[in-house]
Amino acid sequence: MVAIASSAPDSLFEELWRLQQQVDELFGTWASPSGGIRSLPRGSFPAVNIGHTPERVDVFLFAPGIDPKTLDISIQENLLTVTGRRDIPAHEQATYYRQERFSGEFRRVIALPEDIDPDRVQARYQDGIVQISVERREAARPRQIEIH
């Protein structure tokens, strides 16, 4: 059992940091993949939303502060791959208690439905969001059949 120090801590933040370290030791690094209970696991940057309509699949990548020209977006069969790098300047004389902004190289591979058309893809960037729209194949779209 993890015990909290009985004497008053020098700082509440120091006590929380110590408690987090004890939880990490008790449960291993899988409990807090990159240093915190609210942290995302590695490979979760940039965050994505994926939606679809009968006509297309839309992938939204939340990538603020990234130059869209540095992103490499490719599609092979039904796998969408996005790679890039985000560098966050660090102050050399600062002591960081927590760093939650991702910095470094990243790669996301997203499986899309089988009926997408890899030749009909568009990508645009606005306000830190990359929207990738992939059209579905004509044969896979629902068709209205007229009765004669």
Q: Which domains are present in the chain?
A: 1-39 (no CATH), 40-89+97-140 (2.60.40.790)
Per-residue confidence (pLDDT) for residue 40, from 0 to 100: 52
Q: Provide the pLDDT for residue 130.
A: 94
Mean pLDDT computed over 49-67: 91
* pLDDT range class, residue 35, cuts 50, 70, 90: very low
Residue 42 reports pLDDT greater than 60: no
pTM of the model: 0.63
Task: Tell me: pLDDT of 133 over 50.
Answer: yes
Q: In this predicted structure, what is the pLDDT of residue 23?
A: 72
Residue 131 has pLDDT above 90, yes or no: yes
Q: What angle do CA 87, 93, 105 make, to 5 degrees?
A: 15
Q: Which residue has the higher pLDDT, 131 or 106?
A: 131
Q: Quick one: pLDDT at residue 28?
A: 54
- Whether the predicted pLDDT of 4 surpasses 80: no
**Is the distance from CB of 123 to CB of 131 less than 8 angstroms?**
yes
Amino acid 13: pLDDT: 67
pLDDT at 64: 85
C-beta separation of 115 from 136 below 8 A:
yes
- Which one has a higher pLDDT value, 136 or 102? 136
Q: Which letter does DSSP use for residue 28 in this model?
A: -
